[in-house]
Structure 1
């Protein structure tokens, strides 16, 4: 999970970009923070997918193969 400070900084830079523009240094910072956010989000999402199990009413496992593959490769 990204820290509250980093998320606040992402929002701050986003608002500044919309209102007045960013310096080159701020653009690089924004790009790096966004990349870090996306990596964290994707990792969290993959972990969530690993825990999903789909069952029919009869109790048969019908979890899609893609999810089973994610579970088995990591």
Structure 2
């Protein structure tokens, strides 16, 4: 998870970019922080999806096969 301080810095740089322009160093920092945030978000989302089971209104498991394979591979490792 990205710290509150890093998230605040991302927002601070985004606000500055809208109002003025960022220095080259600030642009690199913004890019690095955004990349870190997106990696964390994607990892968290993948983990969430890997723990989901889809059930239809009749109570049948309709989880997509691709997701079932991913779950099975996780159990093996």
Output the CA distance in 2 between the equivalents of 1:72 and 1:7: 35
TM-score between the two structures when normalised by the length of structure 2: 0.85
Match of residue 8 from structure 1: 8
Comparing 64-73 with 18-27, greater Cα deviation is found at 64-73
Runs of 4+, deviation exceeding 2 Å: 56-60, 69-74
User: Tell me, which stretches of 5 or more residues in structure 1 are unaligned?
Assistant: none
Match of residue 36 from structure 2: 36
Match of residue 22 from structure 1: 22
Q: Report deviation, 1:51.
A: 1.1
In the alignment of these two chains, the number of paired residues is: 74
Q: Cα–Cα, structure 1 residues 73 and 39, in superposed 2: closer, same or farther, change >3 Å? A: farther
User: Tell me, which stretches of 5 or more residues in structure 2 are unaligned?
Assistant: none
Q: Report deviation, 1:72.
A: 3.4
TM-score between the two structures when normalised by the length of structure 1: 0.88
Comparing 63-72 with 20-29, greater Cα deviation is found at 63-72
> RMSD across aligned C-alpha pairs, in angstroms?
1.4
Q: Tell me if 1:56 matches 2:56.
A: yes
